[in-house]
Structure 1
Amino acid sequence: MDLTLTDEEREIRDWVRTFVTKELMPLEPQVLERERDGKRGVTLDEVEALQDKARQSGFFGIQTPEAYGGMGLGAVMNALLEVELGRTFVPFKFGGDADNILFEANDEQKDAYLRPTIEGTRRSCFAITEPGAGSDARNIRTSAVRDGDEWVINGEKTFITGGDVADFTMVFAVTDKEKGADGGVTCFLVDREAGWTSTEIPTMGEWGPASLSFQDVRVPHSSILGEEGRGFELAMRWIGKGRYLLPARALGSCERLVEMAMEQAKNRVTFGEPIAERQAIQWMIADSAVEIEALRWLVLSAAWQVDHGADSRQAQSMAKLAGGVHANQIVDRVLQIHGGMGYTRELPIERWYRELRLLRIYEGTDEIQRRTIARNLLSGHASVRGHLG
């Protein structure tokens, strides 16, 4: 793998690094203060204003194909930019993106859903998880029954990211019980005006998922995304769209946290000398540095495989697993190095502590990643010698 950046790629990475430093990090005290008062750290209007500022410099649709007005950057560059964004806890992503499965829409649906989502005039959410179907996505119970030229949807979805602000959803429902997940699940594009409702779910972190309720929600047959009965394939494509990006953002957080820990270790004096002179502290920093570097190469290896059209599922599962485990170990060490101050809400460490804990649960739990990794190895679909054989 040659991961040497071109001059253009380096300029892109450096621009994002500067944007994070000058535009996002100064907002951190404000974000912490608002969140302590139970408010949203950054309002949707403020995020859009930041996105507009980035767009003026050409940063719009990082992953979106150029044919749709985006930058169409590759996986490695996307991973590197996520690392930079991860160095702050200010919630932000560049505008101009849409869920990957929305590109499967027909021309009419693209005009109604895809293009407005890219432009930011519409907001979507992906609804497959249910109270009884989390990691076991094949166990969904939400149903859609054909009634003439319409479908009637009934069921509940839970832990849906963006569900409380979305004006339409990509909801997955069983349309043929006999066929099960393989041929019996369909994805529907459903406007909020059709009648589904949402309720925000309070969490220990700042992630604000929602539960969605569908009670006799009627949609036309033309609202099917893709093909009838092929929804589970779309769902798996959405879930696997970029698991390497989650640990990439966590990687940036870990870099910033360890920098904070080193600064604290140099300045905090006990028994006449900085705690940086204590072997216990040095080992915490050393272990964290090794884990950061290992995670960096797991993330970049997965991204490189995506860019080269290789089967990256094993690499992405490894990166996702390592990201969750190592990020939680690192933030715990950083809090320990800061002592009592690290446990207070005066510093952002406890906030990162809560935020990074989510990485071990959503988009595939640690247990699911281990299951995937082990099954791939035991079945012969992957080798402990890696993708190079």
Structure 2
Amino acid sequence: MTSAEGNDAVTEDEFREILAQTRKFVREFVLPREREIAANDRVPDDIVDRAKAMGLFGYALPPEWGGLGLNLAQDVELALEFGYTTLALRSLFGTNNGIAGQVLVGYGTDQQKQRWLADIASGSVVASFALTEEGAGSDPASLRTAAARDGDDWVIDGQKRFITNAPVADLFVVFARTAPDRIAVFLVPARTPGVEVGPKDRKMGQEGAWTAEVRFQNVRVGEDALVGGSEDVGYRAAMSSLARGRVHIAALAVGAAQRALDESVAYAAGATQGGTAIGEFQLVQAMLADMQTGVMAGRALVRDAARLWVSEEDRRVAPSVAKLYCTEMAGKVADLAVQVHGGTGYMRDVTVERIYRDVRLLRLYEGTSEIQRLIIGGGLVRAAQRAR
């Protein structure tokens, strides 16, 4: 397995500039258009084009394929910025850099990397991670989508749901069962006969971040579509990609919580009740204090989890700890932000109302909070048993 996690492709000075440009893009170019994105349920083309030009569709992919080669410790610094605005922005390129792209980086054959990674890194190909299905979301072991050999080909049948970027995807990274005890991964171009994408899902929040069902009916692909050229890599690829993605999602949550906090502090400093700024009331200050504490703790935790991933000291428990704490924290901070705003916070087109809806999903995808607790608790027990 190969990885870009430990490379020195980007110097500290270069990364500082990448981070500064990303922050400027988010704060000056995307923030002013958040209402437009929400109202139209789409990210405008000029924002997409600018993200491509900045290299954001491939920032975590290796330089040899046109990516920036950022490791996870650097990735989370960008994710803290992406989380500060509508999460639809990150959704544009999240799977290219994350759970879809990393499957190819870590497990693809040389031929598969040559065929796809440069286009994924440039944004000319949008990759979707087709794992989740009814009855098999947080637990990939329950997959029912099947792939069967037919001569030199594979034939895939099944249905996926909640697939990010499915309506605009060019490539689906599809997980399918090839035997009762085996899950494989296949690269399926979106225009392959038998691939059918359903209408966009109507969600509670995250307008502009498109998801949909995807059906595979007698979809025929060649042997070269089998990731890694082996049926044995699928489950490992899923678990590794999801674990890495959990640290990224944790950082997004911290970014969103920081935005909710900033909006609340600004509101508390200016809004008055009985001629007194509400920020001078001790109970409002207490809410702000709890928000600040959660944000600072989450930022430290996600940076530590990323460091442990890059050093390969912990690629299982720490990602789940970070995702569990940071996504739960973001929900609490968003709730407090609405409370600080009072009735104003319940109104549409108010930033904290959008954040309240957007961050709710973070506790569900790439493994629910309940699954994270099982991973953490089980990991601790097994480590103690091995040490006996």
Q: CA deviation at 1:293?
A: 0.9
Match of 1:26 in 2: 32
Q: TM-score, normalised by structure 1?
A: 0.87
| Counterparts in 2 of 1:216 and 1:243: CA distance versus 1, 3 Å | same
Match of 2:74 in 1: 77
| Counterparts in 2 of 1:137 and 1:283: CA distance versus 1, 3 Å | same
Tell me, yes or no, if structure 1 residue 243 matches structure 2 residue 240: no
In the alignment, which of 14, 21, 35 is matched to residue 15 of structure 1?
A: 21
Judge conservation of contact 1:321–1:366 (CA < 8 Å) in 2.
Answer: yes
Match of 1:118 in 2: 121
Q: How does 1:315-354 map to 2 (within 5 A)?
A: 315-354=318-357
| Counterparts in 2 of 1:217 and 1:53: CA distance versus 1, 3 Å | closer
Q: Distance in 1 between matches of 2:87 and 2:383?
A: 42
Judge conservation of contact 2:66–2:122 (CA < 8 Å) in 1.
Answer: no
| Counterparts in 2 of 1:90 and 1:371: CA distance versus 1, 3 Å | closer
Q: Distance in 1 between matches of 2:303 and 2:385?
A: 18
Gaps in structure 2 of 5+ consecutive residues: 1-10
Q: CA deviation at 1:77?
A: 1.9
Q: CA deviation at 1:71?
A: 1.9
Q: CA deviation at 1:6?
A: 4.8
Q: Distance in 2 between matches of 1:375 and 1:132?
A: 22
Judge conservation of contact 1:63–1:78 (CA < 8 Å) in 2.
Answer: yes
Tell me, yes or no, if structure 1 residue 222 matches structure 2 residue 232: no
Q: Distance in 1 between matches of 2:59 and 2:65?
A: 11
Amino acid at match of 1:68: W
For 1:172, what is the secondary structure of its paired residue?
strand
Tell me, yes or no, if structure 1 residue 50 matches structure 2 residue 50: yes
Q: How does 1:220-299 map to 2 (within 5 A)?
A: 220-226=222-228, 227-299=230-302
Match of 1:89 in 2: 86
Q: Distance in 1 between matches of 2:290 and 2:339?
A: 14
Judge conservation of contact 1:41–1:90 (CA < 8 Å) in 2.
Answer: no
In the alignment, which of 192, 203, 209 is matched to residue 211 of structure 2?
A: 209
Give the number of the structure whose alpha-carbon radius of gyration is greater.
Answer: 1
Q: How does 1:163-182 map to 2 (within 5 A)?
A: 163-177=166-180, 180=181
In the alignment, which of 182, 185, 194 is matched to residue 183 of structure 2?
A: 185
| Counterparts in 2 of 1:270 and 1:322: CA distance versus 1, 3 Å | same
How big is each residue's C-alpha offset from its partner over 1:296-338, in whole Å with a ceiling of 9 and x where there is no partner? 1110100111222212321111110011111011011111111
Q: Distance in 2 between matches of 1:379 and 1:204?
A: 38
| Counterparts in 2 of 1:304 and 1:50: CA distance versus 1, 3 Å | same
Q: Distance in 2 between matches of 1:42 and 1:14?
A: 22
RMSD: 2.2
Judge conservation of contact 1:176–1:229 (CA < 8 Å) in 2.
Answer: no
Q: CA deviation at 1:356?
A: 0.2
Q: CA deviation at 1:100?
A: 0.6
Judge conservation of contact 2:132–2:163 (CA < 8 Å) in 1.
Answer: yes
Q: CA deviation at 1:294?
A: 0.7
Question: Which stretch shows the higher mean deviation, 143-152 or 15-24?
Answer: 15-24
Percent identical pairs in the alignment equals 37
**Larger relative contact order, structure 1 or 2 (CA cutoff 8 Å, min sep 6):** 2
Q: Distance in 2 between matches of 1:262 and 1:220?
A: 57
Q: Distance in 2 between matches of 1:90 and 1:318?
A: 22
Tell me, yes or no, if structure 1 residue 132 matches structure 2 residue 128: no
Judge conservation of contact 1:376–1:382 (CA < 8 Å) in 2.
Answer: no
Match of 1:150 in 2: 153
For 1:312, what is the secondary structure of its paired residue?
coil
| Counterparts in 2 of 1:52 and 1:149: CA distance versus 1, 3 Å | closer
Q: CA deviation at 1:15?
A: 2.7
Q: Distance in 1 between matches of 2:385 and 2:210?
A: 36
Q: Distance in 2 between matches of 1:233 and 1:381?
A: 23
Amino acid at match of 1:213: R
For 2:88, what is the secondary structure of its paired residue?
coil
Judge conservation of contact 1:175–1:229 (CA < 8 Å) in 2.
Answer: no
Amino acid at match of 2:278: I
For 1:133, what is the secondary structure of its paired residue?
coil
Match of 2:41 in 1: 40
Amino acid at match of 2:118: R
Judge conservation of contact 1:24–1:90 (CA < 8 Å) in 2.
Answer: no
Match of 1:386 in 2: none
Q: Aligned pair count?
A: 365
Q: TM-score, normalised by structure 2?
A: 0.88
Q: Distance in 2 between matches of 1:220 and 1:60?
A: 27
Tell me, yes or no, if structure 1 residue 311 matches structure 2 residue 314: yes
